[in-house]
Structure 1
């Protein structure tokens, strides 16, 4: 009986320690393959066409703070990657600020995707600008503890502006010791503050107040569109959103009956940009039965996302077709060349 009692005590203590260790966060993030998610249910265009025979899908990477177990597990799983915190988050950026930044990046990505698809379909597109959102504040710089992530700045030195580039241009003309007056909104309350200009600690030749920001703008299109991206963050679904949107704007089915996924940022010119974690997205797409995968080609760079995707596809022995794209038009050209499935 004593022996059994000892075993039970050891088991209970071991279980308590194991549970406790799951709550101990290490200074790392672990990423792993996510899933391929069909875009049609997320995109709703008033009066749009939704008779897809196949699917356009976005691919995701799952990411979380490492604990002892996920850190160890990542060392024995080929497509689980470990990153120090400083490679994921800005200096001084909290988990909440990081999540907020990723959601704003997704919003910008969706706006660019909408603009590209609607213009390609010869539909009207207009933007209304409202200033910039603060994404994060750099510790040790003048704006620290004066501004917060989520603040909306709408005037600089009494001057209205439209984009983050305009804001940066105004502030960058100032020198150390100068001041900048900002009108901003927080939780519905409007405030005005004066912040001194200082050197950035990691770049003494650069001056500013120490914030990262993103343009706050509202897109208007006809017909109306709603995109329910929920808590999906980051800009990497831009290309695939633009294809799904165009498919609902036009009568012909661009999917031709195929399961099509991909990744890549997109700007308003329709240029497709590099993203992170593409090998993990190849695994996710393969596990979801994807037949065609679009990958950023980066103008034939030997270290492009496309080449990394090819290596991963070969490694996991998938029959999925990996297609290089530099632009939205490249993806359309490939789709237009596809025969209808089962013809």
Structure 2
């Protein structure tokens, strides 16, 4: 082979390699990359009517940075980068589309803020009226005849002409139904009302033998004695509930519970102030350590499958982080802990 032929072959080889490299940029992988996110102070995000914003320390929410590994290069980065975790797409969002997953995260954050508002105000002694107003569709089973008609994010308000205020009403109505029966649902999507006839499927949930095949969640409205503004439009998910409620509580009380400490935390909150498990706890404690936080509240492990407390304590020990981790079961436990602390010197 002469020199000119070899050069041509080399150019062909390099052309093929370049083409493969370019093509690989557009081949998605079935993974998300999770890394430590931001640690954001809450006093500027939460405003309670008549409340005080003169805390000596700060309360912070914590986030996890997530990125879809859209090609093999991102995947390689996620594999080798420190404090990164790769998770399969179906582990993160199941069979939901990106749009459905985004809508669910937005709903979960909105719900988290409402729960935090109720829990925080009640803990400070305010009266709060909570009224259920329909059923939020959290997911739709693939085997359901509602798939393709009812979508995640829809709010069901009636079944066969019967108004629905909460999930219990829905389950009670379906209790006497059989698989194959058809019900007429009225639901709201993006502010517009729709109807759909849905054939019931057989269930094996220990409650009803027949159902629509959705995972319902109560939709509710909250009426309070004072206005509370929470500005967290760029944050999704429910894990900031505990810290939102602590910030609301602190602005309403005469005693500053921060006492000069930098206090971060994570955990869902419900209407009664119970703290629930969250995802990404290892990434969050890493972000907290980088920020130089004094105290980190995390959900306590209560049930056998809970792992937040074990995981965060393991990460602190493994990495040698200098953060005081405080597991709590309720908002009141977090308040009690802070009230007993001496002021920071």
TM-score, L = length of structure 2? 0.88
Q: Compared with structure 1, are the counterparts of its residues 161 and 309 closer, same or farther at alpha carbon in structure 2 (3 Å cutoff)?
A: same
| Aligned-residue offset at 1:162 | 1.7
Q: Give the Cα separation in 2 of the matches to 1:200 and 1:231.
A: 38
Q: Over the residues paired in the alignment, what is the CA RMSD in angstroms?
A: 2.9
Decide which of 76, 80, 90 is 1:72's aligned counterpart.
76
Q: Are 2:95 and 1:88 equivalent residues in the alignment? A: no
Decide which of 100, 111, 126 is 1:123's aligned counterpart.
126
The residue aligned with 1:311 is 314
Retained in 1: the 8 A contact 2:123–2:332? no
Decide which of 175, 178, 183 is 1:180's aligned counterpart.
183
Q: Compared with structure 1, are the counterparts of its residues 319 and 188 closer, same or farther at alpha carbon in structure 2 (3 Å cutoff)?
A: closer
Retained in 2: the 8 A contact 1:104–1:214? no
Q: Give the Cα separation in 2 of the matches to 1:280 and 1:15.
A: 36
Give CA-to-partner distance per residue, 1:167-226, whole Å, 9 cap, x none.
2443354221112221122343323222110136999x9632232333221212121011
Retained in 1: the 8 A contact 2:59–2:264? yes
Greater than 6 Å deviation, 4+ residue runs: 6-16
The residue aligned with 1:44 is 47
Retained in 2: the 8 A contact 1:256–1:339? yes
Alignment: residue pair count:
339
Q: Are 2:134 and 1:154 equivalent residues in the alignment? A: no
SS at match of 2:44: helix
SS at match of 1:299: coil
The residue aligned with 2:297 is 294
Q: Give the Cα separation in 2 of the matches to 1:201 and 1:20.
A: 46
Q: Give the Cα separation in 1 of the matches to 2:18 and 2:226.
A: 57
Q: Are 2:148 and 1:145 equivalent residues in the alignment? A: yes
The residue aligned with 1:223 is 226
Q: Compared with structure 1, are the counterparts of its residues 33 and 23 closer, same or farther at alpha carbon in structure 2 (3 Å cutoff)?
A: farther
Unaligned runs of 5+ in 2: none
Retained in 2: the 8 A contact 1:36–1:58? yes
Q: Give the Cα separation in 2 of the matches to 1:89 and 1:202.
A: 22
Q: Give the Cα separation in 1 of the matches to 2:281 and 2:148.
A: 37
For the pair shown, the structure with the greater C-alpha radius of gyration is 2
Retained in 2: the 8 A contact 1:175–1:197? yes
Q: Are 2:283 and 1:280 equivalent residues in the alignment? A: yes
Retained in 1: the 8 A contact 2:159–2:170? yes
Q: Give the Cα separation in 2 of the matches to 1:300 and 1:137.
A: 27
Retained in 2: the 8 A contact 1:157–1:182? yes
Unaligned runs of 5+ in 1: none
Q: Give the Cα separation in 2 of the matches to 1:51 and 1:10.
A: 67
SS at match of 1:294: strand
Q: Give the Cα separation in 2 of the matches to 1:198 and 1:144.
A: 12
Q: Give the Cα separation in 1 of the matches to 2:303 and 2:340.
A: 21
